Structure 1
Amino acid sequence: MRIASLPYLDEHVTVIAAGADDVWRGLGETLDRSFSRPGMASYARLVGSADRTASGPRPPAEGSTFPGFRVVAAVPGRELVLQGCHRFSSYALIFRLEHAGPGRSRLRAESRAAFPGLAGGLYRQLVVGTGGHAVGMRRLLSAIRRRSE
């Protein structure tokens, strides 16, 4: 599924007291640490994700994978686009870096997702409706900020 056709879900933003190169490094390291835990690989298998292991170049580049995600675009210091799918959803996570002043960067994390069918609707309610997705995204951005600064 094309990313542009996935419905917009939400966007989370943080300002980081670091330049784009440091934030890019922090983003890659944090994604590796967060998505490459054994529990993530197990979860990816459970829901039938296409990508179930971490592989490919680091820092992430096009074709790299994390459990549940494949890197479909990577412009160092500017944008990282992850895409994935499983039995209940097709989704994308788009990280965009912007200059926010001297020694500061703004990191945006946009989520897009489709949840087809009854099972998809129930999954959406579990992940999004409970607020779990928003909490997870805020924690991820905070971890990236800490690692980058």
Structure 2
Amino acid sequence: MGITSLPYVDEHVTVVVADADDVWRGLVESVERSFSRLGSAGYTRLVGCADRTASGPRPLAEGSTFPGFRVVAAVPGRELVLEGRHRFSTYALIFRLDHAGPGRTRLSAETRAVFPGLAGGLYRRLAIGTGGHAAGLRRLLSTVRHRSE
């Protein structure tokens, strides 16, 4: 299933007082650190993620993996596209950087996912319905903003 065919879940946005190159560096560092924490490896095994370890080029580039995700596109200063799958979902996380005025960059994080079957529906309720996913993305965007400014 292609990323564009995955149903839209949500989008979160922040404006960073930094140029796109600084935001890009903050983004790739923050994303990899956030999803490579100690608990991530256990979680990815528990849900059966396709990608469970870090591999490939660093800093993140097309073909890099880390727990739960594979980088399918990386255009420095513009876009980082991650995809993943596990027993309960196939998903994508798309980060876009856009000019928002002098010395300012708009950073958005769009989530797309499908949650097939009864187990997928229950997982969606736990991950999306409780607000946990949204809180995690807002925290990640805040981390990128602080790291970049």
Q: Which runs of 5+ in 2 are unaligned?
A: none
Superposition deviation, residue 126 in structure 1: 0.4
Give distance in 2, aligned partners of 1:14 and 1:54: 27
Q: Percent identity?
A: 79
> Which amino acid counterpart does residue 109 of structure 1 have in structure 2?
A
Q: CA offsets, 1:46-84, max 9 Å, x none?
A: 100000012221221000011000000111100000000
- Say if 1:49 and 1:86, in contact at 8 Å, map to a contact too: yes
Superposition deviation, residue 42 in structure 1: 0.9
Residue 109 of structure 2 aligns with which residue?
109
Aligned residue-pair number: 149
Matched, 1:146 2:146: yes
Q: CA offsets, 1:11-49, max 9 Å, x none?
A: 000000100000000001101211111111110111000
TM-score (norm 2): 0.98
Tell me, what secondary structure is at the counterpart of 1:110? Answer: strand
Q: Which runs of 5+ in 1 are unaligned?
A: none
Tell me, what secondary structure is at the counterpart of 2:82? Answer: strand
RMSD: 0.6
Q: Segments of 4+ in structure 1 off by > 4 A?
A: none
TM-score (norm 1): 0.98
Superposition deviation, residue 96 in structure 1: 0.3
Give distance in 2, aligned partners of 1:60 and 1:8: 24
Residue 42 of structure 2 aligns with which residue?
42
Residue 98 of structure 2 aligns with which residue?
98
Matched, 1:6 2:6: yes
